[in-house]
Structure 1
Amino acid sequence: MTTGDPVTGAARTAPSASAASTAPTAGGAGPLPGGAPGGRARLGAVGMVIGSALSLQFGSAVAATLFPRAGALGVVALRLVFSAALMLAVCRPRLRGHSRADWAAVAGLGIALGTMNSLFYQAIDRIPLGAAVTLELLGPLVLSVVASRRLLSLVWALLALAGVYLLGSSGFDELNFAGVGFALAAGGMWVAYIVFNSRTGARFPKADGLALAMGIAALVSAPLGILDAGGALLDPVTLGLGAAVAVLSSGLPYTLELFALRRLPAATFAVLMSLMPVAATLAGFLVLDQRLKPLELVAIALVIAASAGAVRTSRTT
């Protein structure tokens, strides 16, 4: 959580995400003329993003309990290895008949996934979760402005950034340079993830491309996890919790995001990622009994308003 020029690449690939939406979608909702998905399909895609955010952040709450057992890199390795095994078994993607461009998209997505998660877990091992998510989100917010190239998109992005800042501001006094660096780097890889996820969704049926990419991500993260945690990864409790984290934090949310990117423009999707710290706040309240302060409620309202505005604006694009 960068390779080359991810923001410029995102601007070039945003039309590909829209083009992918002209194909029949999993939900059966057809597109409108000109490639813009129908209102029902778009609403379903927004629901997928919300479901992804909730699943990912509740999975992060479970993952936090594993840090003392297996370390940050060990937890990432468990999460991605279990996710890859599950998705490859369920999807059974074909290995033959793909072009070099297909494999380039899958490899890019896999490397982005493995690197993004490794960097982010290193960040939250050093700085508070809210601050880490806030800094990481700067990547998708920049992407939303550059890919859309509309003044109103800048307004929604700034509104979302204001809300995200308020959510994470309580932890900013505890930051250290290493944690900030890891979080910002994770944000850069998040941009790469959005770009390559869009390309992969356009080139592979169902979730086949994601399953292959998850296998590559597991290969990227496994050696680091083994070096960091060693034999602790074989503890039965650690393995069980690692499997749960894999489903909640990787398998389910990444699949939902893959299908959402087939129905939403990349710029809209990037702004909707601002729902991640909102979901993290809710998970903290429900799972960890972390009470919401009035300022945090205002921040949530700002982020929701920005996300709703981004979706409404994208209907005219």
Structure 2
Amino acid sequence: MIEESHARPAQANPVIWVSLLLPTCGAAAYLAYTMGSHSMHGISYLSGQFLVYGAVGAALFYGLLLRKQGGKYYLTVLAALFAAMYAGGSIGVDKQKQQAAIAMTATQEEMQRLTSAIEKANASKDGGMQAHIMETTTSTAPRAQGEYGEMERFMKGFMNSAVSYKNSYLQELQAIGWDRVMDAKRLQADRDMAESKAILARARTIITKFEAETDTLFANGKASIDSLAISDGAKNDMRAGFDKGANNTKNQIMQNWQMEREALQEVENMVKLLADKKKWTVEKDQVMFRKQEDLDKFNTYNGNLEKIGQRQVELQQRQLKKSAAEMQNLKSTLQNK
């Protein structure tokens, strides 16, 4: 009798394919580490991507070396690749969390610096415009690395651009002599109040100009996100977050411009009262009224002006407090991803 012979599939040499799988897993782990260390997403989100990449990699590895050995080998390779990517990705995400903490801490420090400068300006008693012009940071170079470093650069840059915007407004007011508009000696020398009226007219033009530029400030801020070295997904997230915060902040700024107009009106009321120079004189660098009723009117206008200034300070303080709380919440969210 002739015995039938059955061809058996060749068994893969385990030494060969395991020795090739190890560097493949190493490469997969490095890829996942790179993804994790450059992504703002947590490990749970990235795990889905790792599973897809692992499945593709396992299919290629299986097709090249193990295609005749059975499905269990494919599952083994898939499990090994996914485990390697998960481990590498976890290390990368942990690194990103560290960078997130560095970025948010640096941003909070810059916000605190600006807040202190604002509080110092509000506490100034000399009334000079120069006292309210704040120093901006000459460099917004980030301490953090990767995408969080870019986020830090953006936030610090936008805060300082907002300060520069306010400084430009104050400097233009200073250039027209606004800080001396109610100076007693200047008023006394202003015969028909022509100079005072000119200052008021220029101030109104400046307010209108910078009020209109509020939209430009935010439009430029949002546009600068496009130049950041981050992923498209991260850019979309930042744009959405920027729009959400910008709407409230812009409303606060527009309220402030309205109060600037109200303050201007009170100063104009005082100038109109002082137009009749028979009603007052200057003694020891102070305006002295001859009639009590004129003094009462002047004090009413001046009191209204002080109330407007206090409302502006309170509005500013609320906004700063809210911004600080939002910054802390963002920091906590990023660290807990």
TM-score (norm 1): 0.29
The structure number with the bigger radius of gyration is 2
Question: RCO greater where, 1 or 2, for CA within 8 Å and sep 6 or more?
Answer: 1
